[in-house]
């Protein structure tokens, strides 16, 4: 049966508003639910939200247009988004997307004339170990795409089969856990960490976290104990604990696996944090791409409420009240930045705030808030059970404990690996069965690109801090196209708040495209280096500050990939008359020789 | 004893809670800026007011002044960064100064002149941005909008109307108005709203007044922006 919008937009909006008690802070959740029910956000729904949440219409439109998974125009009854991460591309995502487009008679980025389907790319969906991957209708992920699977999906869409009736094996997401230490070992019983924290008391529990020297696992590596202490000491009417599950850095998927398999441990860590800082409410900010984990997490929360591990007087301790709500994102990498994440939690556009003040003193609703990564919370639960000194003995003196990394790209066994800190990249490459690797991208596009001579370096805060991603590139991969893919990513994900990032990432994208199109000269190299200086010095947040990293690293280490594109010694303009006629050729359906002005080879987008 | 910091070696007194730029403007010292206005809470988005504090680049509008702080502003290195930002703003929109009614009263143009900008340097983006001439008294020319959000803040915080908001993301960020039709005529804006007059460029203009003051006699025709005590107030008074 066709899934053609069974719910009237105004009714969908009214129901969403009711579910969120007409709370304007829940604007993003209301919009997301309308998107799910209607397939887009029709004007009649916005009318309803305007009156129901008492918000100016342009604020609603401003929020709706910020997030990639919310559409203010009809986007197709089926919305298909192919993951555009380099690992998906290397596995043939582009050809598969073209195949689906041809099969369904739709152009990429457009909606078919009958409104049936829209097909486009999206930023990394976090299924790099089982790519190429796609999302259907925002919330459903499909990995292991092959031609046969694409044809099957085309058939299902053409037949207008409701998503609920698609074969469930399409939506199976694998965990691919390959190496286990603390977090991925046999999990402790629910409540064990909370009980240990209660026995210690909040002050002593904090001392244990400090003694553990646990540092943030999202990549920045701030000391968890210091963060918790600052929040505990900050003046406020109330406090909040936020779990950052907006794992958007391309190549990262370890938080997906932790949430899917260790939800209790993560929520337990949040509860311990709440006990230490005195928070009553917590949030899990779940990235939109992991919407399929929402039922798993809701079930874990319900189970814990029933077991007295969440709610009022946890474990019978008077005043130890804490509960967690899940906030699902809507497609914005920048919301992984903690202050942008808080803005998004408050139902706003995900723009990073001016800092200071920092979230530990002025976070959600201006109150003291700790924001920690999924893995950090899971680790802090282990610290609560085993104690700070025990934990600090694992890893290295500066980097205590373990790190969960996620390996993808050119290797035999992509997946999730947990090591004590201080392991060499070469060790991970051997474990995953890397195929003659020439480069490894550590942590994602904003991290480091290592050449083979650097594979003996170590994953630890002293050397290579990482959010977790190790993307492997074998000999023969074009590292220029890798960098270009990352540059396109940053340009797509810039929030647009500050001038240097909004415009600078576009300028950088154009320069890389210019090189790819054979118009490059040494002048453009100088321009790229100059732009890097400006982006690094002037950008509002880490997105812009690191956007040039992939280019700088690959220029330094894989220069021949660039040199072979320097077809000119002197400056050439980027403008290409023949390319400018592309639209005219498409409109007239011509591609004969007379419809071209020059014959320059066109390179594939990475 | 009041506290002070050094702006290019010149002592600037400040009160607790003031940012570098707020204190500088109060003291009559010039630091280039576009999205900042002394009457509004600092926004920190254009980054043109970037200075070097102890060698580190910081947006002076949002960085709190501290006693004894050494701030470098009018130096070749800092001005080179500002120039690049202004050039980015020029290529991002469609800015044709000679045909703009705001010519001579425009902070973007005046800042560019003051920084010695002789070309846009980068390739122009030439975005497609239709104008909104629907309102009988006001013109909205999005081609010139630099997304400073002063009108957003003024309409919301002073006029109490929220006529303007930012929409979109990244390079697609754009100004929108509060009407289902998307047209300014269908909002409750009035021509004496603060939001109308706070625009530092020529994006929001009263109609039929374009050349009441001839070119050559306008604020920044008479003095460079760096010599105008409070450029925000000076163009608002026009």
Rounded (5°) CA angle A18-A23-A25? 135
Final residue before a domain boundary, out of B52, B85, B118: B85
In this predicted structure, the answer to whether residue A2 has a pLDDT above a threshold of 50 is: no
The CA radius of gyration of chain A, in Å to the nearest whole number, is 24
Summarised one tens digit per residue, pLDDT across range B201-231 is: 999 999 998 889 999 999 999 999 999 988 9
Q: Identify the domain containing residue B19 by its residue range.
A: 3-85
Under a CB-based contact definition with an 8 Å cutoff, are residues A121 and A485 in contact?
no
Whether residues B134 and B185 share a domain: the answer is: yes
C-beta atoms of A354 and B42 within 8 A? yes
- A369-401 burial by CB neighbour count: b if 16+ within 10 A, else e? bbbbbbbbbbbbbbbbbbebeebbebbbeebbb
Compute the 3-state secondary structure of chain A and give helix, strand, coil in percent, each to the nearest 5: 45, 15, 40
Residues of A in contact with B172 (CB under 8 A): 65, 496
Cβ atoms within 10 A of the Cβ of A23, count? 12
In this prediction, residues A488-501 reach a mean pLDDT of 97
- A515-530 burial by CB neighbour count: b if 16+ within 10 A, else e? bbbbbbbeebbebbee
Under a CB-based contact definition with an 8 Å cutoff, are residues A84 and A489 in contact?
yes
Rounded CA-CA distance A124/A252 in Å is 9
The predicted structure's pLDDT at residue A289: 97
Question: In CATH, what number is assigned to the domain containing residue B101?
Answer: 3.30.70.20
Whether residues B69 and B14 share a domain: the answer is: yes
C-beta atoms of A332 and B171 within 8 A? no
Rounded CA-CA distance B188/B161 in Å is 7
Rounded CA-CA distance A263/A294 in Å is 11
Summarised one tens digit per residue, pLDDT across range A324-360 is: 999 999 999 999 999 999 999 999 999 999 988 999 9
The pair phi, psi for residue A458, each rounded to 5°, is -110, 145
The ranges assigned to domains in chain A are 9-64, 78-174, 178-392
In this predicted structure, the answer to whether residue A593 has a pLDDT above a threshold of 90 is: no
C-beta atoms of B165 and A502 within 8 A? no
Whether residues B62 and B115 share a domain: the answer is: no
Nearest CA in chain A to B41: A354
Strand order from edge to edge, sheet including A140-142: A117-122, A78-83, A134-136, A140-142
Residues of B in contact with A493 (CB under 8 A): 170
CA distances from A347 to A11, A62, A328, B55, B171 (A): 21, 11, 11, 37, 22
> By C-alpha distance, which of A162, A269, A145, A131 is closest to A208?
A269
DSSP assignment of B106-137: -HHHHHHHHTT--S--SPP-------B--SSS
Rounded CA-CA distance A363/A241 in Å is 10
How many angstroms separate the CA of residue A43 from the nearest CA in chain B? 8
Residues of B in contact with A507 (CB under 8 A): 88, 122-123
Whether residues B115 and B211 share a domain: the answer is: yes
- Dihedral angle over CA of A170, A173, A177, A181, nearest 10: -160
DSSP assignment of B57-108: EEETTTSBP-TT-EEE-SSHHHHHHHHHHHHHHHHHS---GGG-TTTTS-HH
How many domains is chain B built from?
2
The predicted structure's pLDDT at residue A598: 62
Residues of chain B in Cβ contact (below 8 Å) with chain A: 42, 44-48, 50, 57, 59, 62, 64, 81, 84-85, 88-89, 91-92, 122-123, 125, 147, 162-173, 176-180
* Residue of A61, A494, A499 lying closest to B176 (CB–CB): A61
User: Average pLDDT, whole number, for chain A?
Assistant: 94
C-beta atoms of B167 and A496 within 8 A? no
* Token reading at A370: 């700790």
- The verdict on A457 touching B (C-beta cutoff 8 Å) is no
Can the peptide bond before residue A467 be classed as cis, meaning omega within 30 degrees of 0? no
Contacts (Cβ under 8 Å, ≥6 apart) of A552: A528, A529, A532
Whether residues B136 and B215 share a domain: the answer is: yes
Summarised one tens digit per residue, pLDDT across range A456-493 is: 999 999 999 999 999 999 999 999 999 999 999 999 99
pLDDT range class, residue A522, cuts 50, 70, 90: confident
Whether residues B69 and B7 share a domain: the answer is: yes
> By C-alpha distance, which of A352, A374, A367, A404 is closest to A246?
A374
C-beta atoms of B167 and A61 within 8 A? yes
Question: In CATH, what number is assigned to the domain containing residue B25?
Answer: 3.10.20.740
How many angstroms separate the CA of residue A450 from the nearest CA in chain B? 28
In this predicted structure, the answer to whether residue A601 has a pLDDT above a threshold of 80 is: no
Q: What is the pTM of this model?
A: 0.94
Rounded CA-CA distance A163/A144 in Å is 18
The predicted structure's pLDDT at residue A1: 40
C-beta atoms of B173 and A492 within 8 A? no
* Token reading at A132: 């190429």
Nearest CA in chain A to B44: A354
Cβ atoms within 10 A of the Cβ of A177, count? 17
* Residue of B59, B84, B178 lying closest to A56 (CB–CB): B178
Rounded CA-CA distance A482/A484 in Å is 5
In this predicted structure, the answer to whether residue A430 has a pLDDT above a threshold of 90 is: yes
Q: Is B131 left (phi over 0), alpha (psi -120 to 50) or beta?
A: beta
Residues of A in contact with B47 (CB under 8 A): 498-500, 538-540
Whether residues B218 and B175 share a domain: the answer is: yes
Of residues A75 and A594, the one with the higher pLDDT is A75
Rounded CA-CA distance A224/A156 in Å is 48
In this predicted structure, the answer to whether residue A14 has a pLDDT above a threshold of 60 is: yes
Residues of B in contact with A58 (CB under 8 A): 162-165, 167, 176-179
In this prediction, residues A148-162 reach a mean pLDDT of 97
CATH code of the domain made up of A178-392: 3.40.50.11540
Can the peptide bond before residue A356 be classed as cis, meaning omega within 30 degrees of 0? yes
Under a CB-based contact definition with an 8 Å cutoff, are residues A403 and A385 in contact?
no
C-beta atoms of A62 and B42 within 8 A? no
Whether residues B81 and B108 share a domain: the answer is: no
Final residue before a domain boundary, out of B53, B85, B117: B85
Final residue before a domain boundary, out of B42, B60, B85: B85
Q: Per DSSP, what are the bridge partners of residue B140?
A: B132, B204
Pair type for strands A323-328 and A281-286: parallel
Identify the CATH class of A78-174: alpha beta
C-beta atoms of A500 and B47 within 8 A? yes
Summarised one tens digit per residue, pLDDT across range A258-301 is: 999 999 999 999 999 999 999 999 999 999 999 999 999 999 99
Can the peptide bond before residue A357 be classed as cis, meaning omega within 30 degrees of 0? yes
Q: Is A314 left (phi over 0), alpha (psi -120 to 50) or beta?
A: beta
Whether residues B212 and B129 share a domain: the answer is: yes
Interface contacts A/B by beta carbons within 8 Å: 119
Whether residues B182 and B74 share a domain: the answer is: no
Summarised one tens digit per residue, pLDDT across range B47-78 is: 999 999 999 999 999 999 999 999 999 999 99
């Amino acid at each position: 049966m066709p899934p053609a919008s069974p719910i009237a937009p105004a009714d969908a909006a009214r129901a969403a508003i009711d579910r969120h008690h007409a709370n304007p802070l829940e604007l993003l959740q209301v919009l997301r639910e309308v998107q799910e029910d209607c397939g887009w956000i029709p004007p009649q729904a916005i009318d309803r939200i305007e009156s129901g949440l008492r918000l100016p219409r342009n604020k609603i439109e401003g929020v709706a247009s910020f997030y990639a998974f919310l559409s203010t125009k009809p986007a197709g009854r089926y919305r298909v988004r192919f993951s555009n991460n380099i690992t998906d591309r290397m596995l043939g995502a582009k050809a598969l997307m073209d195949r689906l487009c041809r099969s369904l008679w739709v152009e990429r980025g457009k909606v078919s004339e009958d409104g049936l389907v829209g097909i486009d790319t999206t930023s990394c969906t976090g299924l790099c170990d089982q790519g190429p991957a796609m999302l259907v209708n925002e919330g459903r992920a499909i990995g292991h795409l092959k031609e046969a699977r694409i044809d099957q999906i085309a058939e299902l869409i053409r037949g207008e089969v409701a998503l609920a009736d698609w074969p469930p094996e399409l939506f199976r997401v694998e965990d691919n856990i390959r190496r286990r230490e603390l977090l991925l070992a046999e999990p402790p019983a629910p409540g064990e960490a909370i009980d240990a924290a209660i026995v210690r008391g909040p002050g002593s529990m904090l001392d244990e976290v400090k003694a553990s020297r646990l540092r943030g696992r999202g990549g920045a590596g701030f000391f968890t104990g210091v963060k918790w202490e600052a929040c505990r000491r900050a003046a406020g009417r109330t406090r909040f604990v936020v779990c950052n599950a907006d794992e958007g850095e391309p190549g990262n998927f370890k938080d997906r696996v932790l949430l899917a398999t260790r939800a209790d441990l993560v929520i337990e860590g949040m509860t311990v944090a709440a006990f230490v800082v005195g928070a009553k409410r917590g949030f899990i900010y779940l990235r939109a791409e992991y919407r399929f984990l929402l039922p798993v997490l809701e079930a874990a929360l319900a189970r814990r409420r029933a077991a007295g591990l969440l709610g009022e007087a946890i474990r019978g301790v008077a005043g130890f009240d804490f509960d967690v709500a899940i906030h699902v994102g809507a497609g914005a990498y920048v919301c992984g930045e903690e202050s942008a994440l808080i803005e998004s939690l408050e139902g706003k556009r995900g723009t990073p705030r001016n800092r200071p003040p920092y979230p530990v003193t002025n976070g959600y609703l201006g109150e003291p808030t700790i924001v920690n990564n999924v893995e950090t919370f899971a680790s802090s639960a282990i610290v609560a059970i085993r104690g700070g000194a025990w934990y600090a003995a694992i890893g290295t003196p500066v980097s205590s404990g373990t790190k969960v990394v996620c390996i993808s790209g050119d290797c035999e066994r992509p997946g999730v690996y947990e090591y004590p800190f201080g392991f060499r990249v070469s060790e991970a490459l051997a474990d995953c069965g890397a195929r003659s690797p020439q480069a490894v991208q550590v942590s994602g596009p904003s991290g480091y690109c290592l050449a083979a001579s650097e594979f003996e370096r170590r994953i630890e805060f002293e050397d290579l801090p990482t959010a977790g991603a190790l993307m492997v590139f074998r000999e023969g991969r074009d590292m220029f196209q890798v960098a270009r893919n990352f540059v396109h990513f940053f340009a797509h994900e810039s929030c647009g708040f500050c001038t240097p990032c909004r415009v600078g990432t576009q300028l950088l994208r154009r320069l890389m495209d210019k090189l790819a199109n054979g118009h490059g000269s040494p002048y453009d190299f100088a321009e790229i280096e100059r732009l890097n200086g400006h982006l690094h010095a002037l950008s509002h947040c880490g997105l812009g500050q690191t956007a040039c990293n992939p280019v700088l690293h690959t220029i330094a280490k894989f220069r021949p990939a660039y040199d072979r594109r320097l077809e000119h010694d002197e400056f050439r303009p980027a403008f290409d008359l023949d390319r400018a006629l592309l639209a005219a050729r498409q409109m007239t359906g011509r591609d004969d020789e007379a419809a071209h002005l020059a014959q320059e080879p066109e390179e594939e987008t990475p | 004893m009041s506290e002070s910091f050094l702006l290019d070696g010149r002592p600037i007194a400040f009160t607790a809670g003031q940012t570098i730029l707020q204190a500088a403007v109060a003291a009559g010292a010039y630091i280039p800026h576009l999205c900042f206005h002394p009457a509004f809470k600092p926004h920190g988005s254009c980054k043109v007011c970037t200075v070097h504090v102890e060698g580190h680049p910081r947006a002076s509008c949002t960085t709190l002044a501290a006693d004894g702080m050494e701030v470098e502003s009018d130096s070749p290195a800092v001005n080179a960064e500002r120039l690049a930002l202004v050039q980015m703003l020029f290529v991002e929109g469609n800015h044709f100064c000679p045909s703009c009614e705001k010519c001579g009263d425009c902070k973007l143009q005046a800042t560019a002149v003051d920084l010695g900008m002789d070309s846009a340097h980068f390739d122009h983006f030439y975005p497609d941005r239709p104008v909104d001439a629907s309102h009988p008294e006001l013109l909205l020319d999005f081609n010139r909008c630099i997304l400073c959000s002063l009108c957003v803040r003024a309409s919301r915080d002073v006029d109490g109307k929220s006529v303007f908001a930012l929409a979109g993301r990244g390079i697609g960020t754009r100004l929108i108005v509060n009407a289902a039709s998307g047209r300014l005529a269908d909002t409750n804006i009035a021509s004496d709203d603060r939001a109308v007059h706070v625009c530092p460029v020529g994006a929001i203009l009263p109609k039929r007044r374009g050349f009441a003051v001839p070119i050559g006699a306008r604020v920044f025709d008479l003095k460079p922006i760096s010599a105008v005590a409070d450029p925000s107030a000076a163009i608002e008074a026009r």
